[in-house]
Structure 1
């Protein structure tokens, strides 16, 4: 699993950083009892997801063929261990 590049892309980093800043802004304004600032922070958090998605669509995310989907095996034809067919 250490060779996986999941999340180590410009799209992922940018989206997470923007969302983290939005989360912090929303937290500060929630404690300060300022609803407008809180909702601005929530909007900034959602913007992080949008920006990350756009950057991934532009090719700055993880390539789709990095983690191929594994085909399921047909267990109806499986033989017990040690039996050669």
Structure 2
């Protein structure tokens, strides 16, 4: 569906992409470490997921979020 007001921003920003890439990598590694029964590294990856959230939040506050001053939306 189209939005008459415009695109509200669905995470198409450097802040969102950076956070998602960090968290996706952490989950992939955590799954691998779980498979090899390395619980310390599984917990380290769980911490890395939290780091990804924090990095995304910091980048959004620094202006790289959807409505940030350093973000320029691209036409689809």
Task: Using structure 1 for the length normalisation, give the TM-score.
Answer: 0.69
Unaligned runs of 5+ in 1: 65-85
Which stretches of structure 1, 4 residues or longer, exceed 4 Å deviation after superposition? Answer: none
Say how many residue pairs are matched.
64
Match of 1:59 among 41, 59, 63: 63
Taking only aligned residues, the RMSD between alpha carbons, in angstroms, comes to 1.6
Of residues 47, 72, 79, the one that matches 2:51 is 47
Task: Please point out which of 26, 40, 62 is paired with 1:22.
Answer: 26
Q: Which of 8, 14, 31 is matched with 1:10 structurally?
A: 14
Q: TM-score, normalised by structure 2?
A: 0.76
Structure 2: give runs of 5+ residues left out of the alignment. Answer: 69-76
